[in-house]
Structure 1
Amino acid sequence: MKIAILGFGTVGEGVYKILTESKDLYQSRFGQSIEIEKILVHNVAKKRDIKEANQIITDNFEEILQDPNIELIVEVTSSKNQAIEYIRKSLMAGKHVVSANKAAIAVDFKELQKIAIQQNVHFKFEASVAGGIPVLSSLGRLIAFNDISLLHGIINSSTNYVLTEICKGRDETEVIAEARELGILEANPTDDIAGFDARRKLAILAMMILQIEISEQSIPSIGITQVDSRDSEILNKLGYEIKLIAELLNGEKSGLKEKQIALSVFPTALNNSKFNRVNGMMNEVTFNGSYCGELRFYGAGGSMYPTANAIVSDIYETITNKPLYFPVKENQYENISDQIESSFYIRIPDSLMVNEDLNNEIIEMAEKILLAKKEVIIFSKPISNQKAVEL
């Protein structure tokens, strides 16, 4: 099979290396080859470490689209809108697509599934969620016979690294700067630390499971932008660690009513949880199915080889298996994400406590109040997700 790679950053380069370095092994085991025909880049004049790749580089997407020999497109660009255009056009041209672009997939899931079904081609996106863990392929097979009542986990390894280091007592500013320097966080880390990345991944997982359209903006979420070493110190003394947890609750077995769903992404104080041992650049996803029971998936998050390996696995699945689709249907669920209540840890500067209305509101919602230096720590009574986001 001849393929093209759109984008040649960290992940694109990883895909190229795996396919070229494992070429003989793959051919000896399966009796066929995967040939990289073209690589799409923005700047063809840029110097690259892999000199062999320069011979197949182009900046013309139409050249790839019109090439009848190219059967599969690997989309690993960083632009959401351009990626949507590339994926749509590739599927419409009858080419299989493997993508890692969670932003594009989350916003255009319904339409991309529709086009893939119409054209009878594969559209795979394992690498878009949880890096190198084979969560989506496993989930895709299980949902044929299992109702998934609960899915939760750590699905952003970058923020997990930051929180792990903060829990060691390190200053959050220093940790974020280090993570950016190491490439764990982007130069602009907002998507990760504001919780947007985890929210997109949860939306993709939920759309697969429920087969309804879910806007990522409809998911209550709080990132780790306001979490610092003071919070970690206070909670550690009480036996807790902070993790950014994404969660989907579905139906009666999750504690809700039938046909009710709730989604959220929140920093969560955990004590004796299975997620307490998930540190650094690692992810873990757990889901409960009606027949499979509880399944846990643990592994490395987003970096060159784990993500590239997920893409290469999707290429193999495309070659060897029939397409698997997740068509979006009419919504039969009541989304009560904003109404779910939990107890929250809230840190408030002393300067805000002079506001009498705020003071009364805080006292009313507080289960426990701790006085810290120039701050008030509130352990709230159960309040709604919507209220927590507003705070």
Structure 2
Amino acid sequence: MYETLKGHMNIENEIEKISRSIGEVNSSEYRSLYEFFNDPKLVGIFGTFHANLVQLFEQMNTRLPVTENSNPHFWAHHSRELKKNIHLINRLKESLNNTKHSFKIDKYYGQLLEKCSEFLVESGGSTMPIGFKKIDIYYTIPIFSLNDSIILKSNHVETRASLQLIGEGSYAKVFKYNDPQYQKEFALKRANPTLSEKEILRFKREFEEMKQLNSPYIVEVYKYSEESNEYTMEFMDRTLDEHLRITNSSLTIEKRKLICFQFLKGLDYLHSKDLLHRDLSPKNVLVKIYENVDVFKISDFGLVKTMKSELTSLSTDFKGYFNDPLLKLEGFYNYAFEHEIYSATMIILFILTGKTNMDKIKDPKLVEIMNIGLNPDKSKRFESVEILIDHIRIL
């Protein structure tokens, strides 16, 4: 506990020292580019760094480009200032590493600062290398940005794990990271900061619904962070869509049936809890690959609702190839079990054939499944997931 507190105080002290070293008189023009740091002191520091680099590189551009016939000097005062700023940037980067303020430098500017470090000197001006070109000045683009990371706590000790982006949508980003304590990978789903209060509530409800479920065919979730609106869940290797594209030519009918059974058992369990998923697609069925078996699980519960709920927003826009076209006429707020059966049947036919073009299905048993599950008359569709499972067993 004391060590954690001491480390926190050291970081605050380092930030204060850097702030005093550079001042913040030039930060106002660029502060807005760094509001995402959510720390007034750091917003000022990065705004000042940005302003200083703009001013110094504008001056350097007056001496560029450098050709084979000229080796102009960068003035002594400006050389010292640029060298000082680069030193403070690197010092701050090292100090904030493994903290919630851990940051990265734009790739172009990162390479530029390294190149400048090679020729900048303290006195007498700096000779710029042959071939050095005019610098692209960032006036409206951030030079610094937050690293995607997560704080991990174990025995009162905090560490920070880097996040790797593996999926992105209009509501959230999905990352993967390695937890050294468990020596395994986890997934993190983080709500986009632009979401409205209502959308955040829906995002949190997605977690709460998944947390209550207990099935080997539903993706497991672990912990929700109110501070950052994100939650951890088990890491899955692929989507069903990706898996079929990779393995389609080698999948036997028996293996395809096993995929169907796992997916449908997960869906049947969901329905047994009086829940409708409402967003079934091959991208929302995920695959965990083990040495001796592949496990398929339903994920993405952002649109889940109880079968009798009346809480659905009337403005929800419902699109997608695997969704019941009747919803365009009936409205998403009338989504019912029969619409879910339609989507489930579409996914089953995709698994069994590896194709989305239903016109090419000729097998009589598959045609029967298609005619029942996709029947334009909702009352003639499968009355339960179990009946659909029975039809697959006899294939």
Give 1 or 2: higher strand fraction. 1
- TM value normalised by structure 2: 0.25
| Structure whose CA Rg is larger | 2
- TM value normalised by structure 1: 0.26
Tell which has more relative contact order, 1 or 2 (C-alpha 8 A, sep 6+): 1
